Amino acid sequence: MSEDPRLNPLALPGVQVEAFSASEVITNAVFASLPRRTGAKVPGALIDSVVFGAFNVTWGVCFFMLTSWHTQHFILHDGPEQAARDLLLAAGLFQDALHDEIWVFNQGFWSKNKALFAEVQKSSWDDVVLKDEFKKGLQKDIYGFFKSEAVYKELSIPWKRGLIMYGPPGNGKTISIKVIMKTCAEQGFNPLYVKSFQSISGLQFGITGYRGEEGAMQDVFEKARQIAPCVVILEDLDSLINDRNRSFFLNQLDGLEGNDGLLVIGSTNHFDKLDPALSERPSRFDRKYNFDDPDYDARELYAKYWQGKLKSNTAIFFPDSLPAEVAASTPGFSFAYLKEAL
């Protein structure tokens, strides 16, 4: 028997499942809305999950009888117990692996997000319009970290690093994070994306999560240490860290349990709100990258980027003189405002 919801043989690819009879399967139907752009004939669908069922299960050359009740699975096998344990282990390993997904921590739990994975696949460094020196420095800091384990070891310092991206909204922090998540995953350094250290169900009762924010932070760093080397993304760092949880977060960040192979990237629109223990202490966040409102040269570069994107559009007139005119007439504009203006 297993009560672990991650050990579900019915969700394991390659398993052949046949119910004893339709009357012995009870399902829970849940409605899911479908995006209009998918072209579905109806705007929603019902998704059934097994509440109770009795099944014949074939996995490879092994045959099992399995009874499921919510997350409890009772397995009968005419043979060595090891065959059933191997089946459960295979189910657990499949559940723990990523399949075109990204690990996301939110509301006190880890989940695997296919939509976020699909979204970051659309990003490219070509779409990150930053000055060449700035962009290359950021890339070197990120990818150089994962190539430098031996150097850290030779210098007898922990192989960990922290970066902060800061500046007013609309200047490339989010698109840069998307590209970093995509490219690091391609190199085998999976990203962990943290949306919140709080739990909605806990907030409903006036408390912070089942285990509190400290328990959530421990879960995040334990997961990161498990899959290291990896990237931990903390977007809106100033919202994630507060007076209640700061001390515990710093202990986790300092790696009392060892943080080898962890690249932690935080972003914020409000650098001034960060505690100096986060923003100024070396070995926590070692480098700070200011995504400030673009100057004249950066605005002209951004206009040229859009000139290139629209080059094949014969309905649009975008002369070579226009990028300089745009740059001259838009001081104080963020990249987001420039995009809207263009």
Q: According to the model, what pLDDT value does residue 210 have? A: 57
Are 252 and 215 in contact by the 8 Å Cβ rule? The answer is: no
153 has pLDDT over 60: yes
207 has pLDDT over 60: no
3-state secondary structure of 199: coil
Domains and CATH numbers, the chain: 9-97 (no CATH), 103-108+115-290 (3.40.50.300), 296-341 (no CATH)
Of all helices (H) and strands (E), which one includes residue 308? helix 296-309
pLDDT tens track for 237-266? 999 998 889 999 999 998 767 899 999 999
- Where helices occur in 69-211 by DSSP H, the ranges are 81-96, 114-120, 132-147, 149-154, 173-186, 200-203
State how far the Cα of 325 lies from the Cα of 253, in Å rounded to an integer. Answer: 46
312 has pLDDT over 80: yes
Residue 160 pairs in a beta bridge with: 262
State how far the Cα of 237 lies from the Cα of 270, in Å rounded to an integer. Answer: 9
211 has pLDDT over 80: no
Q: According to the model, what pLDDT value does residue 38 have? A: 65
State how far the Cα of 93 lies from the Cα of 101, in Å rounded to an integer. Answer: 15
337 has pLDDT over 90: yes
State how far the Cα of 69 lies from the Cα of 71, in Å rounded to an integer. Answer: 6
Q: According to the model, what pLDDT value does residue 7 have? A: 86
DSSP 11-28: GSTT-EEEES-GGG-EEE
Sign of the four-CA dihedral 154, 158, 159, 164: negative
pTM: 0.86
DSSP 29-47: EEEEE--GGGT-SSSEEEE
Mean local confidence (pLDDT), 128-146: 95
- Show Cβ contacts of residue 249 under 8 Å, excluding neighbours closer than 6 positions: 217, 241
Sign of the four-CA dihedral 46, 50, 52, 54: positive
State how far the Cα of 72 lies from the Cα of 209, in Å rounded to an integer. Answer: 25
Q: According to the model, what pLDDT value does residue 304 have? A: 94
Residue 2 pairs in a beta bridge with: 73
pLDDT tens track for 54-64? 889 998 888 88
Q: Rounded to the nearest 5°, which phi and psi values hold at 42?
A: -125, 150
State how far the Cα of 55 lies from the Cα of 21, in Å rounded to an integer. Answer: 8
pLDDT tens track for 155-202? 998 999 999 999 999 999 999 999 999 999 999 999 999 999 987 654
Sign of the four-CA dihedral 7, 11, 13, 19: positive
